[in-house]
Structure 1
Amino acid sequence: MKRHRGHKARLCLAPSQASAAEDQGHAARALWNLVHDWWTMLPKERRSLAAADAVIRQGRKDLPWLGVLPAQAAQAVLKTYFQAWRNCWEGRAQAPTFKGRFRSRMAVDIPQGRDLQIVRLNKRWGRMWAPKIGHMLFRWTRDLPVGSRADKGNRVSGARLVKEADGWYVVFRVQTEVPEPAAHTGPSVGIDRGIAKPLALSDGTFREHDPWLTEGETKRLRRLEKARERRRRARKPGERDSRRLTRTYNQIAQLRATAKRRAVDWQHKTTTGLAEMFSRIGVEDLQIVSMVKSARGTVGAPGRNVCQKAGLNRAITAEAWGRTVTMLEYKAAERGGIVVKVLARNTSRRCSACGCVTPGSRETQARFVCKNPGCGFEANADTNAGRNIDHAAGQAVSGRGDLGGTRSVKRQPPFRPHAA
């Protein structure tokens, strides 16, 4: 079967190349906004992909500053915009909107893989070519199907230049042919996601990590955030940001990007190990967006414990539970496994040995002691929840039959106790 994956690598750009890439990124954003205005102002009967293409071609002739964007990248902007509307019409996303200068990420598409001219220079560095920028160096961290290794089924089909807070990156679109995965023969597991224990497995083990930022980096981030607030208060209403405030914004963004990069690295390594070890992985079907809503309330009905809830929301967001499940789903499917989503109700309050939900069983945040007189089961609270999730996942699979190892399940039949 054909597998399409993205591979992200860091670019090393000369100052002139970085300036050219930023010019193209600004032009691509402005072109998106122009197409959006043109599309929304026209009557529905006059909207078409061909008409938009003609307008873009004419605009590149009339507006010289749009000429810095390569023609193929301009066509990619149009295709991306049209796909955004298609996703909206089919109910997969919201309608596309205006892209603000400071609220959007700069990106430039290179649709044709043959234009990249990828060459590996040594163990750590590779070289690629981008239109109107030239040859660029990038970090070689994964073998790419280029040169003699490339064919119709294994190739780099395109790329996108993306600017993050800590510099420019290239995201390659890699197509490979892999054999159909055999059914995974490993054991099953249930995973409870939390804050104190990021991932608690039903077998009694945990997957933990250190703080994403070191102690020194955390202190520096707090110091920069205080400086940001002081400089924002000193700014007059309607006045532009000073260079010092802009530099503070950039420094904060770089530290947060460092934390995110470390978090994604840990998640990739952890989910790969779990997908290789277990055949069926059960997780809770959490509504994370609802869980991280603010408790501020309204003027008439103000919320309670707003600061505590805000801290919990930040902790949940930092763990990125949804991204962990997304990684598990495609990695398990590649190895013949399956990820099963079950209802989260009472998974932390039910005893995994007897199946009873008794008041006061959750003695502390980390300790579960069943209050059923005939049971008395004791375990870590997160481990007990993982056992409940594992059993519910098994019930869901058996209730629906063979799932083929590639789909998620969101059904939870009646409970049956987990084997102690």
Structure 2
Amino acid sequence: MVTGRKYRAKAMGKESREMFITWSAAQMLTYNALVQEREYFLCFYQKFGGRLPPIDQKYAHLFNLKDEEFAWMSPLPAQVFRNGAVLHKKAWSNCFTGVTRKPRCKKISGAPRSLWLTRELFSVRQVSKRWYELSVGTKTIKGGKFLFKAHRPFTAPASIHLTGIASELFISFSCEEETEHYPETLEEKLARLSQYDQEELRGISLGIDRGVVIPFQLSDGRRFDYSQTQRDRLKAYERRKKHYQRMMARRIKGSSNWKKAKAKLHQCYRYSSCVRKDFAHQTSHVVVSDKTVEIIGMEDLKIKSMTSSPEAKASEDGKFLPNGAKAKAGLNRAILEKAWGLTENFIKYKSRRAGKLLIKVPAPYTSQTCSRCSCQAKNSRKSQALFRCANCGFSQNADRNAAENIRFCAVELLRAGGIKPKEVRKTMRLRRKRACAEA
């Protein structure tokens, strides 16, 4: 089974880091040049008609390596430029199939760097039990060396991505992982679970409710939140962010001191991102590794719509009216800090690998319905934390009550046949009509 691996890497010496910066800049420059060339062809075609040239991997006509402007690129191996052209062609293929949007130019200076290396440009050697050395370069052109620590063995990859974010380096690749048995397909899983009755399905299911106060509440009583140390450090880094933003505002843009403050600001953002990612990985691992659970239910939340800014409202005289944007910004920040979407994505791919079924249920009224008598009433939610049923008097934590409702909804949706394998939609590229020339 093909799986992905990502490890933190360390450049061995200044030359290796400079090589990564130079090679990644050349590869991204090739990609950007092809994107700009394609945009020119599209604009010309939309205005004058005619025929679009095919998307190929030719790049030699874009820049002359003998010129002074591109002299720094002449010592580099040609495979680096070719890989940039291949990435451009893959981007357009994904765009035509509807996977991604139209390719755009990538920012090079002051942005995360990425370098794609194919098999002829690197070799991996095991140094010790868990440490490996990545040697980059060809027989005639020397590159650099990078060290990384792998917690489990892997097969030789066909290609490797080197990614640089601020002062950190990461190595990622795909490899074959040996498994005793492959996980069930969705069709096999649905056919097996359809033979269970309602009580058996409820016994192997788990509901997850997401909230701002408690990020993840499970139907069995477990809850997941940041530790006190993580919360204190996140607050401290928020104060540092504002401090470095004020420093950048008082300094001349582009100066050396301005760049130093910007680098420290990026470190603060990087720490917050790492804490959220670590929390999402740990939460998803505990949820999916539970051997008594085969069905995981989650609310189908539109997080992007929930965290969007409210539209501006203007009066008749042209002045803008208050629309609650400041209060909404605080709610958006609180939602994004809880890593709802990131944890959902991790649960999705980990449950697929573990052979478990993830069901997304409709979110409305899950917090207003009683998990005992199924009575739905607004006045049952006396407070944010307590649920007391207006019909039967059942009292429970509001988030846990909602998690149990999500679990029941997931089981009912499965028994009703509402879970179907995703159909692969074939896309067809329509050819635009040729513009008619006026006489």
Q: What residue identity is the alignment partner of 1:219?
A: A
Q: Judge conservation of contact 1:352–1:384 (CA < 8 Å) in 2.
A: yes
Between the aligned partners of 2:343 and 2:372, the Cα distance in structure 1 is: 28
Contact 2:284–2:343, Cα closer than 8 Å, also in 1: yes
Q: Which residue of 2 aligns with 1:99?
A: 106
1:42-57 alignment to 2 at 5 Å? 42=41, 45-50=51-56, 52-55=57-60
For residues 408 and 254 of structure 2, the distance between their equivalents in structure 1, rounded to whole angstroms, comes to: 55
Q: Which residue of 1 aligns with 2:411?
A: 394
Q: Is the 8 A contact 2:124 2:132 kept in 1?
A: yes
1:348 aligns to what SS in structure 2? coil
Q: d(CA) in 1 for partners of 2:389 and 2:75?
A: 68
For 2:288, the equivalent position in structure 1 comes to 275
Asked if 1:87 corresponds to 2:94, the answer is yes
Cα gap change, 1:17 to 1:54, in 2 (>3 Å): closer
Residue 205 of structure 1, aligned match among 222, 238, 256: 222
The structure-2 alpha-carbon separation of the partners of 1:223 and 1:330, relative to structure 1 and needing over 3 Å to count, comes to: closer
What residue is the counterpart of 2:131 in the other structure?
Answer: 125
Provide, for residues 257-307 of structure 1, a one-character-per-residue CA deviation record: whole Å limited to 9, x for no partner.
122223222322321221121211011111111111123624545444333
Q: 1:192-211: per-residue Cα shift (whole Å, max 9, x none)?
A: 12222111111122122226
Say whether 1:137 aligns with 2:146.
yes
* Residue of structure 2 aligned with 1:355, choices 364, 371, 374: 374
Cα RMSD over matched residues?
Answer: 2.9
Residues 7, 148 of structure 2: 8 Å contact kept: no
Indicate the residue corresponding to 1:163 in structure 2.
Answer: 164
1:311 is matched with 330
Residue 34 of structure 1 corresponds to 33
Preserved contact between residue 114 and residue 161 of structure 2 (Cα < 8 Å) = yes
Unaligned runs of 5+ in 2: 46-50, 194-200, 424-439
Equivalent position of 1:367 in the other structure? 386
Q: Is the contact between residue 251 and residue 258 of structure 2 (CA under 8 Å) also seen in structure 1?
A: no
Letter in 1 for 2:136: A
TM-score, normalised relative to structure 1: 0.83
Q: What does residue 109 of structure 1 align with? A: 116
Any conservation in 1 of the 2:244–2:265 contact (CA below 8 Å)? no
Alignment of 1:253 onto 2:261: no
5 Å-filtered alignment, 1:55-94, equals 55=60, 59=64, 63-67=70-74, 69-94=76-101
Q: Secondary structure at the match of 1:283?
A: strand
**Number of residue equivalences:** 389
CA distance in 1, matches of 2:241, 2:111: 22
For normalisation by structure 2, the TM-score amounts to: 0.79
Taking a change above 3 Å as real, the CA distance of residues 181 and 56 of structure 1, as seen in their structure-2 partners, is farther
Letter in 2 for 1:176: E
Compute the displacement of 1:324 (Å).
1.3
Q: 1:227 to 1:206 in 2, by over 3 A?
A: closer
After superposition, the Cα gap between the structure-2 partners of 1:381 and 1:61, relative to the gap in structure 1 and judged at 3 Å, is farther
Which moved further from structure 2: 88-97 or 194-203?
A: 88-97
TM-superposed CA distance for 1:395, in Å, is: 1.4
2-structure distance, mates of 1:248, 1:96: 32
1:413 aligned partner? none
Structure 2 residue aligned with 1:337? 356
- Of structures 1 and 2, the larger Rg is shown by 2
For the 8 Å contact 2:30–2:84, the answer to whether it is kept is: yes
- Write the letter of the residue equivalent to 2:403: G
Letter in 2 for 1:30: L
Q: Please list the CA deviations of residues 384-419 of structure 1 after superposition, one character each: whole Å capped at 9, or x if unmatched.
A: 111111111111211228868xx79xxxxxxxxxxx
Whether the 8 Å CA contact 1:361–1:369 is kept in 2: the answer is yes
Counterparts in 2 of 1:130 and 1:108: CA distance versus 1, 3 Å: same
User: 1:221·1:252 contact (CA, 8 Å) conserved in 2?
Assistant: no
Q: Tell me which residue corresponds to 2:437.
A: none
Separation (CA, whole Å) in 1 of partners of 2:18 and 2:231: 32
Q: 2:399 — aligned with what?
A: 382
